[in-house]
Structure 1
Amino acid sequence: MPDPVIEVDSVNITRKDKTIIEEADFTIEQGTYMGVVGPNGGGKTTLMQGILGIMPLEKGSIKILGTPIQQFEQWNKLAFVSQYSINFNEKFPLTVRELVGLGRINKTNLGRPLKNDDWNQVDEAIEFMGITQIANRRIGQLSGGQKQRVFVAKAIVRKPQVLILDEPASGIDPEAQEKFYMILSNLNQEERTTILIVSHDLAAVFCRMSHVMCINKKVYTSPITPDNDPNEILRKAYGEHFRFVMHEHICEGVFDV
C-alpha cells in the first residue's frame, strides 16, 4: 500500500472570520494524480495554501510526509506552480535554462554557483518537459503554454514528491493544454510524483486523473473509475441540480447547471 504524503484531519480554515474550509478530513497517497475542483469561492486555493503552510489552520492538523506541518522542514519535497506563471514579467532577463536553475537553489547553497550536477539536473528537467529547443531563449519571448512548462521544469528540478498546480492550463490554447497534461501524466507515472491540480476543466480531470477532490467549504474525495458516476461526488460541491456528461471515446465533457 502506498505511503500517505498528505494527511488532513478535521481542518477548518477561516478568512476574516468566515469559515472557508470546514472539517476537511482526507489522506492522499504517494503517486496519486488528483484534480481539485469546485465552484468559485469554494475554497480550492485556500486549502492548497493550508497544505503549503501559507494559510494558518483555525482547527485540526495537517501532516506532510508523516510530519506535522508546524514541524515540517523538507519543503524541497513540495513544489507549487501558480496560475499566474504565464503572466511572468516579460522583461525578466533570464533564459529558460537560467530560470529553471533557480529551482536548484536552497538554503544550503544560497549565494554559491550551481555545480555541474545541478546543471545536469536542470537539463534533465528541461528535456523531460520537452523544452530543450527553447532552453536559451529569454522567458519573455515565450508563449503562455511554453512558460507553464518552464515553471513546471523549475518545480520538478528539485525532485519533489508532491507537485501542486493552481489552474495550470488556464490561458493556453487546447493543443498546448493537451501536451501539458500528457507531460504531467508521464511525470506521475514515471517518477511516481504525487500531483494535485486545481482546475475548472472537469473533462480534463475525469479523463486524465486517478482521483478527484471536490471542494465547496466541505471537502470530498473519490477515485476516478469507469464504474463511478462523476455526478455523485460533483453534486456534493456544485448542488443537486448539477449535471456533468462525459462523452465516450473522445473524452470530452459538457455540463449543465
Structure 2
Amino acid sequence: MIEYKNVGVSFGKFNVLSNVNFHVEKGDFFHIVGPNGSGKTTLVKTLVGLLKQSEGTIDINTKNMGYLPQKLNLKNLIPMTVQEVIYSGFKKPKLFPSKSECQLIKDWLKKMEIEDLFGHSMNYLSGGQQQRVYLIRALISEPDVLILDEPTSALDPSFREKFYILLHEIQRNNKTTIIHVTHDLTDAIKENCKIMYVDQTIKFIGSYEDFNKFEHRGHHHD
C-alpha cells in the first residue's frame, strides 16, 4: 500500500532523513519510534504531502487517508463548534450535515467519552478534548490509511488504553492500515504489529519481540 525507496529529506546542508526504505501492507498496525529530532514527524509529513522528499520515491496506493498532526493549528478554527470541525472531515460535506450525519458524529463523540460537547465551541475545550475531536475528524470518513503523530500526547492516562483498544478494533474490523508515531509503546502494542525505529535513517523494522532484543543491544527510544 505504501513504499519508500531510497528517500531522503534535506533542509539546506542538513540531512533530516537519508536512505529510507520500507513498505507498509494493507491492514498493518505500523508503529514509528525514535528519539526526539530523529525525523519521525518529517517522515510522516512526506507521507501526507506536507513536505517533498529531496531524493527517492514514495508510492502510495490510496487517496483516502486520515491524518492527525502532532501539533494542532487551532487559530483559524477557534470560532467553530465541535460538530463543525468533525463534519469538515466527511468526504463530501455539504453546507449543513444531515440528521444521519449528526447522529454519526454523536456516536463517535460517545465512543470518545465526550458526547456532551456536540455543540460546544472549540475555544472552550481542553487540549485533551480538542485532541479527541480531531481524532474523530481523522476517523469519520473511514480512511484506508490512518496516520497518527503522537495522538495521545494530550489525552489523560485513563483514556489512553481505551483509545488504543478502539484503534485496534478499527484496524481489525475495517482492515484499516494504521501508521502511528509514538514515544510510548506501553498501551499501543498488540499481536502482529510492526515496529520501525528511525534515527535519520531506518535502524530497525520488525516485530515487537525482535524490537525488544534490538533495544537490549543498547538502543533505546524515548
Q: Name the TM-score class by shorter chain.
A: 0.7 to 0.9
Alpha-carbon separation, structure 2, partners of 1:181 and 1:99: 22
Alignment-derived partner of residue 69 in structure 1: none
Alpha-carbon separation, structure 1, partners of 2:192 and 2:126: 25
Tell me, yes or no, if the aligned pair for 1:163 and 1:194 is still in contact at 8 Å. yes
Match of 1:241 among 200, 218, 222: 218
Alignment-derived partner of residue 168 in structure 2: 185
Match of 2:207 among 223, 229, 232: 223
Letter paired with 1:231:
N
Match of 1:200 among 175, 180, 183: 183
Structure of higher RCO (CA pairs closer than 8 Å, 6+ residues apart): 2
Letter paired with 1:52:
V
Tell me, yes or no, if the aligned pair for 1:8 and 1:24 is still in contact at 8 Å. yes
Letter paired with 1:92:
I
Letter paired with 1:113:
L
Match of 1:82 among 69, 77, 82: 69
Alignment-derived partner of residue 101 in structure 1: 87
Alignment-derived partner of residue 44 in structure 1: 40
Tell me, yes or no, if the aligned pair for 1:80 and 1:163 is still in contact at 8 Å. yes
Q: SS of 1:19's equivalent?
A: strand
Name the CA shift for 1:216/1:202 in 2 (closer, same or farther; >3 Å): same
Match of 2:95 among 91, 113, 118: 113
Name the CA shift for 1:193/1:79 in 2 (closer, same or farther; >3 Å): same
1:242 CA drift (Å): 3.5
Tell me, yes or no, if the aligned pair for 1:214 and 1:233 is still in contact at 8 Å. no
Alignment-derived partner of residue 56 in structure 2: 60
Q: SS of 2:8's equivalent?
A: strand
Alpha-carbon separation, structure 2, partners of 1:143 and 1:167: 17
Q: Could you tell me the TM-score, scaled by structure 1's length?
A: 0.74
Tell me, yes or no, if the aligned pair for 1:78 and 1:160 is still in contact at 8 Å. yes
Alignment-derived partner of residue 71 in structure 1: none
Letter paired with 1:194:
T
Mean CA deviation greater in 183-192 or 20-29:
183-192
Alpha-carbon separation, structure 2, partners of 1:105 and 1:229: 39
Q: CA RMSD in A?
A: 2.8
Q: SS of 1:214's equivalent?
A: strand
Name the CA shift for 1:233/1:55 in 2 (closer, same or farther; >3 Å): farther
Tell me, yes or no, if the aligned pair for 2:4 and 2:22 is still in contact at 8 Å. yes
Alignment-derived partner of residue 9 in structure 2: 13
Whether 2:22 is the aligned partner of 1:26: answer yes
1:12 CA drift (Å): 1.2
Alpha-carbon separation, structure 2, partners of 1:138 and 1:212: 38
Q: SS of 1:200's equivalent?
A: coil
1:92-171 matched pairs, under 5 angstroms: 92-104=78-90, 112-114=94-96, 116=98, 118-119=101-102, 121-171=104-154
Alpha-carbon separation, structure 2, partners of 1:153 and 1:121: 10
Q: Could you tell me the TM-score, scaled by structure 2's length?
A: 0.84
1:135 CA drift (Å): 1.8
Unpaired runs of 5+ residues, structure 1, are: 67-73, 245-254
Tell me, yes or no, if the aligned pair for 1:6 and 1:63 is still in contact at 8 Å. yes
Alpha-carbon separation, structure 2, partners of 1:30 and 1:42: 26
Unpaired runs of 5+ residues, structure 2, are: none
